[in-house]
Amino acid sequence: MRHLRHIVGAAAAVAAASTVLAAPAFAAPAAENYAALGDSYASGVGTREYTEDSGDCLRSPKAYAQLWADSHDVSNFTFVACSGAVTDDVNANQLDQLSADTTLVTISIGGNDIGFSSVIQDCLLGDDNGCDSAVSKGEERARNELPAKLDTTYANISEAAPNAKVVVLGYPRLTEQGSCGIPFFSDAKRQRINDGADVLAEVISARAEAAGFTFADAREAFAGHGVCSSDEWINGPSNPLVESFHPDVDGHAKAYLPVLNAVTG
């Protein structure tokens, strides 16, 4: 009986060892080689804190891209987003930072291509009809001019970083309805600005999907926190003017970063 117990015990040990040896080995995920491209919404304009070496590009340590890099395993982080950038600027000045070694690219681009700042200015200074006209012109450019520009830009990103996951972060709706301390900034104006944001999101998401990229929609994350809300995550008219209608520190940390985390982990 004692010998039988020894035999059974030895057999069990061999079986356990076989199970351990047969278990698959999972390699730890490699650190990301991350490049952040785009315009002022990507660079962090509106956070009111910028690195000295970024100059007029106004790159912020509080921008969603920097926050993501700080909170993930990143072997290399290249931050070239720049205030005022349009698609042509991305193609001419930012893509040389990408390579076959790049594993993650984020980009916010397109707002300046359709005249974002002039639309906001016309809506703030003009009447309801003037705002409606300005937004309509922006929507027309979004539908008729922007798709080809995005297609070219996205194709160039794919060529420059063929092994990267590319996340296209959209723009938020900028305003909320109701009581507002901004003179003459009517509910009608605010609604038209948000309508324009929806058109822009529709165009950008469609072109991102066509390119095989991931579109990260920021509109719901900012809901209830636009200009004229009681808890604004987007700056209203500001000094300096460039920070107007751009996400603040909370907008990047509480809206954009969670949206990016949701698609990257």
Backbone angles phi, psi at 213, to 5 degrees: -95, 165
Catalytic residue among 40, 60, 108, 244: 40
Backbone angles phi, psi at 32, to 5 degrees: -80, 140
The answer for residues whose C-beta is within 8 angstroms of residue 169's C-beta and 6 or more apart is 38, 41, 42, 64, 106, 107, 108, 216, 218, 256, 259, 260
Angular region, 69: left φ>0, alpha ψ -120 to 50, beta rest: alpha
Distance (Å, whole) CA 207 – CA 215? 9
Burial class (CB in 10 A: 0-12, 13-18, 19+), 63: buried
Catalytic residue among 54, 60, 246, 252: 246
Distance (Å, whole) CA 133 – CA 167? 32
- Helix, strand, coil shares, percent, the chain, to 5: 55, 10, 35
What's the DSSP call for residue 252? Answer: I
The sign of the torsion formed by the CA atoms of 148, 115, 45, 255 equals: negative
Six token digits for residue 162 = 């063929």
Burial class (CB in 10 A: 0-12, 13-18, 19+), 179: exposed
Q: Catalytic residue at 133?
A: no
One-letter identity of residue 42: A
Q: Catalytic residue at 40?
A: yes
Catalytic residues: 40, 246
